Amino acid sequence: MPPEVGLMPKPPFYRPGQNQLIPILYVGDAQASGEAPDDYCKVISIVNGADVAGTVEDSGCKMKWPK
């Protein structure tokens, strides 16, 4: 995804062997109002999705492409 669409510091990617999109994760709290009128979330930390997603082996994914 282009940065203006993904809105992430690193682009998301599909993990080989698994039909899983690995993005950057924003961890935060909801808030009634923020600095901007549409600011409804306070980001507490930014987590690399690849660091917290299970491995392909752990997922049990058995993708097979039709021949």
Give the domain extent around 41: 3-53
* 30 domain-assigned: yes
* 17 domain-assigned: yes
* 59 domain-assigned: no
Indicate the SS3 state at residue 57.
Answer: helix
The tally of domains found in the chain comes to 1
| pLDDT tens digits, one per residue of 10-65 | 888 888 777 788 888 889 999 988 888 888 888 899 999 889 887 877 777 776 77
* 46 domain-assigned: yes
* 28 domain-assigned: yes
* 62 domain-assigned: no
Q: What is the pLDDT of residue 65?
A: 74
Using left for φ > 0, alpha for ψ between -120 and 50, and beta otherwise, residue 37 falls in alpha
* 41 domain-assigned: yes
